Amino acid sequence: MKKILFGLLVVGLTTQAFSQVIKTEELSEVVVMATNYKYLSDVDSKEAPVDAKLLERMVASFDVKDSEFYQDEYDLYNVTFFIPDGKILAAYDKDGKVLRTVEKFKDINVPEVVRNSVYKRFPGWMISKDVYLVNYHQEKGANRRYKLKLVNGDKTLRVKTDEDGNFL
């Protein structure tokens, strides 16, 4: 009986020793390029809608050189990105860098700062429609604006504000 228990103990320990073999694999090389980091940092806003942020990331990660319409002889490429709530027209140079964009998003959640500013200046008025606009230029940075349609009964009023709630 001792020999059987000792034999089972030895067999049990040896099988665990063979289970510790680790295979090593060499991974392929990964190249990380931060071509449009300036665009993303300029247009990034904490109060921007989620759809706008997703579409802006698509614009930043789009590679002009891999597109079907890329040719070496052109210096400027205009590409339009669409989602149901908005669109972005982006201009790229021949290296794939974002030069400028025009962005428009409809019916988004207006930031609290803008909402409070409107309700403070126009008490009793409600926001019925809104448009979020972003104009980005490589040298000037990003300009964010909100176009709002206010309703009070049968009266309507259109106002424009910046991202801080200042009226334009």
In the chain, where the domains are located: 35-162
Question: What is the residue whose two structure tokens read 């259109």?
Answer: 158
Tokens at residue 40, please?
A: 């993303």
Integer angstrom CA distances of residue 138 from 1, 105, 122, 164: 83, 21, 36, 22
Cα–Cα dist 110/114, whole Å: 7
Residue with tokens 């910046």: 162
Q: CA nearest 54: which of 79, 84, 17, 16?
A: 84
Cα separation, 102 vs 120, in Å, equals 30
* β-sheet bridge partners, residue 106: 131
The CA distance from 102 to 20, in Å, is 57
Contact 124, 152 (CB under 8 A): yes
Task: Per residue of the chain (168 residues), give pLDDT as tens.
Answer: 777 767 766 666 666 655 556 777 787 777 665 677 777 777 777 777 777 888 888 888 887 777 777 667 777 888 888 888 889 898 888 888 888 999 998 988 888 888 899 999 999 899 899 998 989 988 888 888 999 999 998 999 999 999 888 898
* pTM greater than the 0.75 cutoff: no
The 10 Å Cβ neighbour count of residue 42 is 20
